[in-house]
Structure 1
C-alpha cells in the first residue's frame, strides 16, 4: 500500500471529520463499508492477534451479546490496554491488513475520476482503524466523510471506543443504524448542492449493509460482496418478497467488477 504524507493537513468537513474537497459537480455518490469490503478481513480480528497468545480470555469472548458488538470491542480494547499493547503495535496491525481483492484498483479508478464521484465511508468499525488504514493506502483524501464509531487514544495511551449514536431501528445494532446516516447525508448534500445525485452506489458485504440499501431507489445500485451475508440476504429477499428490494443488485468478487459497472454508469448518463 502507498502511504500518504502524515504531515499533510486534512481539511475538516461540516461534521468535524477530516474531509477532502467536495464539489457540487459530482454526478454520483458512493458509500463504502470498511470491514471485509475495503479490507480483506474484519479489523477487529486484527486486535485479537495482537493480544497475548493471539487470543483473548474465554470470559471476554463470552461477554459478547447480539446487537452489542461495539460494547464488546470496548472491553477487548480495554483488555489490550491492561496487557500493555501499545499504540504502535495496534497501528502496525491495522496497516498490515490487506485490501479486499481489486480494491486498490477501484480506489485508483475513483481517484482518477474525482470530478464524477463523491465517496463516503459508512462503517461500524471505528475512526482510528479506518483513518489509519486509508492513510497507509494513500486514499484518505478520496473520501469526503467517514461515518463510524469514534475511537482515539487517551492520555494513558489506551484506545477508547464509543458508540456512533442512538437510534430506534429494530434491524440494526444499538450503536449504529446505517440507514439513518445515509438518509441524513443524502438530504444534507441535496440541500448543499441544490440537486440530488444522479445515482447512489453502496458497496458492502454484511448483514448490517442491508438496512441502508433499503433506502435506495430503482436508479441506484447495491454492490454486495458475492456469497457474503449481504448477498445471501438480498437473494432471500428477492425470492421471498419480489419487488421489495428496489436498487439494482451487482454482486462483486473483485474491485474490477465495481469499476466495470461505474464505467457503464458514466457512459449512460
Structure 2
C-alpha cells in the first residue's frame, strides 16, 4: 500500500487517545526557512484509524493480554504500562516482524492518505509537516514507511522504542514535564511550544499559520497555545473536539484558535487549500 498511489471510555484502558531525557525520530537536516505554514499531526486515531497500542495486542498469544497485566495500568502512567506489555510480548517470543506486521495493517483514517497526497504535491514553500505522538518510534516509522509517507515529516516527536539484543522491543518515555493535564511521559504542549519557538528563531520570523490535526485529550493541551490565526483540526466527536466545545461554553474567548471539526482528511484538505491559495 502506498498513500501516494491509489490508497489501497475516556477512562477505559484500551483507548489510548482518550487519556489525557528528550528523544525524537527526525530527518537530520534543518528544514528550509521559507515555508509559510507549520502543520502538526497526531498519530493514533488521527493518521491511523485505531490505537497502535491496542493493535499490537493482536501479536500476543491468543491476541489477548492476561488480566494480571491489564490490572497493572495506572491512570497517567500509560507509557509504563506499555513498557510492561512490550516486555510481555518479548517474553512470549513475539518477533519484530510479527509486531511490524500487525502495525502495518492498521487502516488509515478516512481521507488521511488523500491529505498526505495534497501536502506532498503542494509547492515546497507551503507546509512544514511535523508529527507529535504518544505512540513510539517503531510503530510510527513502520506504518509511515509502509504507506510511503515517511519523507513527508521533517520531525517526529514520540516515545523511543528499539529492539534489544534479545529481540525485545524496549519502550522509554519521551521526556518529563510538570503539566497536570498530560500523562507523565509526554506533554504535547511543551513539544509544540518549544518547536514553534525554535523554528521562529531559526527562520527569523513566525509562520503565517500553525495547524494542529488531532483527536485525543492530549491533543487538546497543545491546541491551547495556538493563536487566533491558527487552526485546531479536531476529529469530530472525539475527546479533543469535546474538550474544545466545553471550554468555549464554560469560558468564552479563552480558546484562541479557529476550530475546524473533521471526519475525513478531505475536510482538512479543503481548509488547507483555502489558506495555501491566500497571498
TM-score where L is the length of structure 1: 0.93
Q: Which residue does the alignment assign to 2:76?
A: 67
What is the deviation of 1:150? Answer: 0.4
Written as runs of structure 1 = structure 2, the 5 A alignment for 1:67-86 is 67-86=76-95
**Aligned with 1:251: secondary structure?**
strand
Q: Which residue does the alignment assign to 1:212?
A: 222
What is the deviation of 1:268? Answer: 2.5
Q: Which runs of 5+ in 1 are unaligned?
A: 5-13
Q: Which of 112, 115, 126 in structure 2 is aligned with 1:106?
A: 115
Does residue 238 of structure 1 match 2:248? yes
**Distance in structure 2 (CA, Å) of the matches to 1:166 and 1:201:** 25
Q: Which residue does the alignment assign to 1:192?
A: 202
Written as runs of structure 1 = structure 2, the 5 A alignment for 1:18-29 is 18-19=27-28, 22-29=31-38
Change (3 A) 1:139 1:20: farther
**Aligned with 1:155: secondary structure?**
coil
Deviations 1:36-55 (A, max 9, x none): 00001000011111111111
Does residue 173 of structure 1 match 2:191? no
Deviation beyond 6 Å, 4+ runs, structure 1 = none
What is the deviation of 1:115? Answer: 2.6
**Distance in structure 1 (CA, Å) of the matches to 2:157 and 2:62:** 33
Q: Which residue does the alignment assign to 1:2?
A: 2
Equivalent pairs counted in the alignment come to 260
Q: Which residue does the alignment assign to 1:10?
A: none
**Aligned with 1:202: secondary structure?**
strand
Change (3 A) 1:214 1:27: same
Q: Which runs of 5+ in 2 are unaligned?
A: 5-22
**Aligned with 1:250: secondary structure?**
strand
**Aligned with 1:264: secondary structure?**
helix
**Distance in structure 1 (CA, Å) of the matches to 2:125 and 2:143:** 24
Does residue 54 of structure 1 match 2:63? yes
Deviations 1:80-122 (A, max 9, x none): 0011000000000111111000000000000001430000000
Query: In 1, are the aligned partners of 2:25 and 2:155 still within 8 Å (CA)?
Result: no
TM-score where L is the length of structure 2: 0.90
**Distance in structure 2 (CA, Å) of the matches to 1:133 and 1:44:** 13
What is the deviation of 1:246? Answer: 0.6
